[in-house]
A and B are shown apart, each in its own frame.
Chain A
Amino acid sequence: DAKTTQPPSMDCAEGRAANLPCNHSTISGNEYVYWYRQIHSQGPQYIIHGLKNNETNEMASLIITEDRKSSTLILPHATLRDTAVYYCIVRTSYDKVIFGPGTSLSVIP
């Protein structure tokens, strides 16, 4: 899978928007950007994915730059329950999802 780079940790105040960046400068034209999160030691939770257009669902928004070399996951109103490790993944094949170290997001009261 294409390499992604994320900050190791971030803080966000409760109620504010959390903006999690991801760089994927080697992404190819048919590769999708996926976001998952893992709360404590639970199973990873799918959040959102996209190819080149911005995407929004009930959990988050995904903003992909025009050149597709980076993206931002936006949690519009972070709550304490959003404290988790967030993984940005570029899928180059359907036979696996490769997880990097991710960003540890701490939502602070």
Chain B
Amino acid sequence: NAGVMQNPRHLVRRRGQEARLRCSPMKGHSHVYWYRQLPEEGLKFMVYLQKENIIDESGMPKERFSAEFPKEGPSILRIQQVVRGDSAAYFCASSGQDNLNTEAFFGQGTRLTVV
């Protein structure tokens, strides 16, 4: 049973380009969470999605960032017109149920570098 898969593992973008980060949850999981970790900082919640729905996006920057989790395929975190401050590790997690007694499992992250 494969874990949470994120790709690419490393992504380099020039300022102004778009970054698309993909997350395939564990088999059978329909809940996805995205986190950002800036260099030398902690993990910050960005957004929580269920299939085809954004449930909680309280941690998403208001501009340039968007997320989706379509009925088929991986969840996508999209960053438009990237700036150097977007350089960070982006982690995705998935869980199978929406209750407090269900652990979330994390992927190995995508390291975005904006040059």
Contact = CB atoms under 8 A, between A and B. Distances in A.
- Classify the interface of chain B: helix, strand, loop or mixed: strand
Q: How large is the interface on B (under 10, 10 to 19, 20 to 34, 35 or more residues)?
A: 20 to 34
Contacts of B104: 46, 97
Interface string A47-79: 001010000000000000000000000000000
Best-surrounded residue of B42, B91, B95, B102 (most CB of chain A within 10 A): B42
B71 to A, nearest CB: 20
A93 B89 CA distance: 24
A75 B55 CA distance: 35
Given A46-B103, A91-B100, A97 B109 contact: no
Interface residues of A, number: 26
B99 A98 contact: no
Contacts of A32: 100-101
B65 interface: no
B43 interface: yes
A99 B43 contact: yes
B106 A94 contact: no
Contact of A97 (B6, B37, B42, B93): B93
Interface of A: 30-32, 34, 36, 38, 41-46, 49, 51, 91-102
Given A43-B91, A94-B98, 20 more contacts: A32-B100, A34-B103, A38-B43, A41-B37, A41-B89, A43-B108, A43-B109, A44-B93, A44-B106, A46-B104, A46-B105, A49-B101, A49-B103, A51-B101, A94-B99, A96-B48, A96-B56, A99-B43, A100-B42, A101-B42
Interface of B: 4, 6, 31, 33, 35, 37, 42-45, 48, 55-56, 59, 89, 91, 93, 95, 97-109, 111
